[in-house]
Every structure is written in C-alpha cells, then in structure tokens.
C-alpha cells in the first residue's frame, strides 16, 4: 500500500531549523512519506536545499525554482509520483502557496500560524502556538478549526542543553543571512572591543549559522548554536534565535540597529520601491522608523510574555550603548537567573509537533 504524503511548505532558514526539523522528527516515526516544498522567499540564504537534504526523514525536496516551474509553467517535479492520499502542512511563507499546492494535489491543507490568518474556508485546521495567538485568530476563524498546540521552536531545541553558564563568556549571534552577517559583524567587533576594555577576563564567542558561515570576529571563538549554553549573555538580532535561546533559558540582549535600513530586504512592492534610486533609501528609512515606533516588542519571548524579559536595544544604535548594557547585565547574576526562568516560562513546554501529527493522523484516517 502506498504511503500517504505529508507535504511541508516552508522557505526561510529559521523555518527549516525551528519548524520543519521538529515536525520531521515526529512524522518520520509514522508510516508517511515526507516531501518538503521550498517556496520563494526574499529572506532565503540560498543554502536551504543543502540544509534540508541533511534532515533525516525527508524523502523529497522541491526547490523554490522547481516550485515556480510547477506553478507557472505546469512542469511537475520529475521523479516524484504523489500518493493518492496526503495532506499539505503550511509552516511558513505565503499561505497562498499552500492553497495552490493543495489544489494541485487535491489534498486537504492545514497551517501552523504565526502572524496572520487567511483562506479560512480552505484550510481544515489552523495550529497556533499559544493562548494569545488563539484568542487573536478566534476572531477570524471558527474555534473548531483552531487548535492550540504549543510552540514548535521549543520542540526544536528540546534535545539541546539548557543554560550552563561559564564565567564571563559572552556570545554574539549575527544571523543566518548574508546581509545580516555583513551588517552585524563590524558592529559586533566594536562592541567586543569596548567590553574587552572594561572586562579584561571576558571570553567571546560568535555563532556560525549552518546556512551562511559567520565571518571571524577578532578575539572570538566560532561555535555552532548547540554550544551556546555556556554563555553568561548572548547578544542577538531579532528572529527565531530569540525564541530558541529563550526555550533553553539563555539570557540575552536583543540588538536591532536601524542605522542603515536600506540594507534590510522588504517584502513585495515595498522592496521594489526601496530599490528606486534616490527615493528608495528615504522610503526604507521612513518605513523602518514607523515599524520600530509601532512595534512594542521584536524579541519573540517578549511578544509571548507581553512584557520585556529580554532587553531590546533598537533604532539608531551605537556600539557603546550595547557594550554598556552587556557590562551592566554581566554584573547582575540574580537578574540573569530570573531572566532565564522567565524565558523558559514564556516559551512553554515541548510537544507541539506531537500534537500536530495527532491531528494529521486523524485527518488522514477520516473518510474523504
């Protein structure tokens, strides 16, 4: 008998490491074939296919290029004979891509939601990460379609060590995309030099992404994310990293410099306007200023807790203010302990992937 297909839809580095991996880990224990579809994304690193090919349990990978040929030229991916039975699970990108895919394959579709809800009548189930998200989406979708499952990002680090700090170890996380690394590395180098002036015994590390390797930081050891548990403090940019660090109880400071917003890629029409000579740079500055003003929190654990657990340094930022905050927090051991506890409480417990798979099992076992 042909195995049912589970089609996972995702695109960016954070989604692969924090959402796809924990889902595949549980799905691969079942009698399913797992196919990953990578959809177009302006935030992609270019290394997504290579990274995904190393995730045990994925049988087939459809790249963004192949996906576009399938959608626009009706060129079905070669060598893949889809099962008569299956389900599409959206994990990130544009919900419309999951809708198109499900219609092409005549599969039901479910979605793990984060920021917005759409195609309410089309999706069979919407999985949400916490009560706040459930309350938000319940205004737009029927409660019978919503399922509170927990945070997949917590699942993604459940096997990794929790916070075990070594004295005066400070770690920098520059991101997983080339523009982030190019932008943050020289900034972090200045921060490191300022901290070193005041704290001679400080030891430094920089996390290298599996997608785009970190640039060397003078005076810092290069490590991978799994080894970050030995840090007294981590300095990171916004994104998935803040949630994954929080789930491990690792104290951090989030830095979001908007000194040069023109280097930050935007979505859709906004990015096209941002590339217009003379006008584009001013537009991106205006947009960055407004988004920063309107956004209460950028760090994901702060969003979940609806309060500031992680200090956020954002807007027009200079290395001195970041170094000052790091040195201050480095002296406050009890404050870091409290932060660690609050971070793990905000993120919740693992188990989201298991709950989602139970729902998919039920959907696939029910009559068409």
Helix, strand, or coil here: 284?
A: helix
Q: Does residue 207 surpass a pLDDT of 70?
A: yes
pLDDT surpassing 80 at residue 318: yes
CA gap 86, 108 in Å, rounded: 7
- Name the pTM for this structure: 0.90
Residue 2: CB atoms within 10 Å: 11
> Domains, the chain, ranges and CATH?
5-158+350-365 (3.40.50.2000), 169-347 (3.40.50.2000)
Backbone φ and ψ of 226, nearest 5°: -60, -25
Strand, helix or coil for residue 71? helix
| Pick from 177, 208, 204: nearest CA to 193 | 204
Dist. CA 64–CA 152, nearest whole Å = 23
- 3 state SS of 35: strand
Return the pLDDT at 323.
97
| pLDDT at position 125 | 95
> How large a percentage of the chain has pLDDT more than 70?
90
Rounded to 5 degrees, φ, ψ at 199 are -125, 85
- What is the mean predicted confidence (pLDDT) over 12-41? 93
Compute CA distances 287 → 9, 116, 266, 278, 281, whole Å.
Answer: 29, 20, 10, 15, 10
Strands, sheet with 146-148, edge to edge from the N-terminal-most edge strand? 58-62, 33-38, 5-10, 86-90, 109-112, 125-128, 146-148
pLDDT tens across 128-141, in order?
999 888 988 988 88
pLDDT tier, 62 (very low <50, low <70, confident <90, very high otherwise): very high
For 96-189, strand residue ranges (E) read: 109-112, 125-128, 146-148, 169-173
Q: What was the pLDDT predicted at 279?
A: 65
State the chain's mean pLDDT as an integer: 90
Beta carbons within 8 Å of 186's beta carbon, 6+ residues apart: none
Question: What is the per-residue pLDDT for 217?
Answer: 96
Tell me how far apart the alpha carbons of residues 233 and 310 are, in angstroms, rounded to a whole number: 11
Kindly state the average pLDDT of the residues 34-54: 88
């Amino acid at each position: 008998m042909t195995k049912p297909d589970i089609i996972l839809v995702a695109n960016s580095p954070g989604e692969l490491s924090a959402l796809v991996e924990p889902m595949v880990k549980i799905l691969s224990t079942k009698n399913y074939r797992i196919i990953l579809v990578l959809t177009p994304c302006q935030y992609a690193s270019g290394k997504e296919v290579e990274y995904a090919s190393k995730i045990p349990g994925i049988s087939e990978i459809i790249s963004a290029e192949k996906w576009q040929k399938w959608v626009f030229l009706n060129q079905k991916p070669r060598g893949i004979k889809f099962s008569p039975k299956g389900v599409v699970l959206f994990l990130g990108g544009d919900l419309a891509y999951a809708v198109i895919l499900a219609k092409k394959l005549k599969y039901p579709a479910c979605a793990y939601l984060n920021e917005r809800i759409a195609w309410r009548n089309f999706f069979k189930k919407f999985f949400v990460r916490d009560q706040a998200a459930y309350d938000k989406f319940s205004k737009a979708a029927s409660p019978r379609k919503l399922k509170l499952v927990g945070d997949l990002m917590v699942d993604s680090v459940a096997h990794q060590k929790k916070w075990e700090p070594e004295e005066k170890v400070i770690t920098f996380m520059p991101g997983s995309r080339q523009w982030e690394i190019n932008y943050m590395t020289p900034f972090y180098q200045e921060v490191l030099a300022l901290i070193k002036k005041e704290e001679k015994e400080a030891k430094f590390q920089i996390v290298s992404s599996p997608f785009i390797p970190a640039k060397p930081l003078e005076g810092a050891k290069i490590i991978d994310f799994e080894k970050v548990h030995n840090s007294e403090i981590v300095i990171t940019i916004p994104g998935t990293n803040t949630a994954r660090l929080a789930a491990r109880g690792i104290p951090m400071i989030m830095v979001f410099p908007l000194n040069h917003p023109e280097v930050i890629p935007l979505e859709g029409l906004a990015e096209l306007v941002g590339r217009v000579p003379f006008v584009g740079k001013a537009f991106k500055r205006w947009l960055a200023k407004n988004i920063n003003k309107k956004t209460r929190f950028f760090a994901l654990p702060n969003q979940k807790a609806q309060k500031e657990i992680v200090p956020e340094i954002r807007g027009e930022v200079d290395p001195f203010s970041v170094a000052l905050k790091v040195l201050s927090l480095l002296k406050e051991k009890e404050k870091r302990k409290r932060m660690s506890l609050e971070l793990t409480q905000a993120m919740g417990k693992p188990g989201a992937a298991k709950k989602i798979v139970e729902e998919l099992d039920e959907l696939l076992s029910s009559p068409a």
